[in-house]
Amino acid sequence: MAKQSEIEKELTKLPILEYVFFKPEEIIFSKEVRDLCQGNSCGMYNSTWACPPAVGSVESCIEKCQAYDKAMLFTTATEVANSFDMKGWLRARVEHEALTDQVAAVFRSYDENALILSTEGCTVCKKCTYPDAPCRFPDRMYPATEGYGIMVMQMAPALNISYNNGANTVTYFSMVLFNE
């Protein structure tokens, strides 16, 4: 298994804004975050393998996360025209997910069972197979951190990561759980 220093050497080659390693026990879980999913605030609930209810209960998500030795949270921040620039937000998300693929490859080269969590549900396929057939790309389908009930808004400052990177920027977060 990899030493954190080996992983960090590879991460410095990627356009990550900020990252931090921590223990899975430090993850802040919240049923309220999951309730937002169930309220379908983003429109992804019950429509993809990356979101509830497909990811399991909050309790099972906690168990999955705490089965790992270490975790890493990382961010990207992208300038957008303004807070209503949906095309800019989408472009930033696509770029963040491409970076998440690169980060996943780094971690999975050391731990093939690393768990990758990312943003707002999966967008790999135009139409998800959920619930009728298994996921076509399970290695590229990253469950949403919020779908796991993770309170990124509280975790970021607790881990000294910027949650908001200023006016006219969008910040996206991904998390990796792995065994060292």
Q: What is the pLDDT along the chain (180 residues), one digit of tens a residue?
A: 557 889 999 999 999 999 999 999 999 999 888 888 877 677 788 889 999 999 999 999 999 999 999 999 999 999 998 888 889 888 999 999 999 999 999 999 999 999 999 987 788 888 999 999 999 999 889 999 999 999 999 999 999 999 999 999 999 999 999 998
Q: What is the model's pLDDT at position 54?
A: 93
DSSP designation for 110 = T
Q: What is the model's pLDDT at position 40?
A: 67
Among 136, 114, 145, smallest CA distance to 44 is for 145
DSSP designation for 53 = T
Q: What is the model's pLDDT at position 121?
A: 76
Q: Are 51 and 33 in contact (CB under 8 A)?
A: no
Q: Distance between CA atoms of 116 and 106, rounded to whole angstroms?
A: 11
Q: Distance between CA atoms of 142 and 103, rounded to whole angstroms?
A: 12
Q: What is the model's pLDDT at position 124?
A: 85
Q: Are 24 and 66 in contact (CB under 8 A)?
A: yes
- The pTM score is 0.93
Among 70, 104, 105, 90, smallest CA distance to 174 is for 104
